[in-house]
Amino acid sequence: MAQKPTAKKSMADDPRVAQAIQNYETGLRAMQEHKFDKAKTHFQKVVGSPSKELGDRASVHMNTCNQHLEKVTHQFKSPEEHFDYAVSLMNVGDYVQAREHLEKLQKQSPKADYVIYGLAALECMTGHVEDSLRSLDEAIRLNPALRFQARNDSDFQNLSEDPRFTELLYPDPGADVVAEPAIPEEETY
């Protein structure tokens, strides 16, 4: 007795899969147009679809969208805002990203005392004592008021026992005074 072949329902016949394919294609078009927010929304709908392969592909594209969206959000209105972002990275322990942002800021504003001070703090926090002292010295030369800020800054706790750090923050009061050369009195003939 011959068995009758049963018609297997293909994945494409499933309306949920058809909808996922449509969302995937729409997401790809949006991604090509650099509309990453819109593309991400469509890919999110695909990730939970019955087609695992399509969901995996959508997940990869969604990560790409996230990376592009993250880059866009890092457009700062001012160097100070950019500096605040770098400090926030330091505060959460992302020293690599913080360094990248501080170095970028330093290239844009090489004499910005607060940027050099931030680099000094970062160098200290990451154990680069010599670099930290050098940067802190430069920042203080640009803005002597930073000397007082550094005295109470916990970011410099690794240097608290270093005599060079103490000399930077508490200089000898007479060291800054330069003796004026004696002017000889005019001789009268």
Which pLDDT tens digit goes with each residue over 133-177? 999 999 999 999 999 999 999 999 989 899 999 999 998 776 554
Residue 117: inside a domain, yes or no? yes
Q: By the 8 A CB rule, do 58 and 21 touch?
A: no
100 is in which domain, residue-wise?
79-169
Same domain, residue pair 104 and 164: yes
Give the model's confidence band at 185: pLDDT under 50 very low, under 70 low, under 90 confident, else very high. Answer: low
Give the model's confidence band at 126: pLDDT under 50 very low, under 70 low, under 90 confident, else very high. Answer: very high
- Give the span between the Cα atoms of 89 and 95, in whole angstroms: 7
The position carrying tokens 């997401």 is: 27
Q: What is the 3-state secondary structure (H, E, C) of 166-181?
A: HHHHCCCCCCCCCCCC
What 8-state DSSP symbol labels residue 38?
H
Q: Where are the alpha helices (DSSP H) in 48-162?
A: 52-73, 79-91, 95-108, 113-125, 129-142, 146-151
Predicted TM-score (pTM) of this structure: 0.56
Residue 177: inside a domain, yes or no? no
Instruction: Give the C-alpha distances (Å, rounded to integers) separating 16 from 19, 48, 54, 80.
Output: 5, 10, 12, 49
Same domain, residue pair 65 and 27: yes
Same domain, residue pair 50 and 69: yes
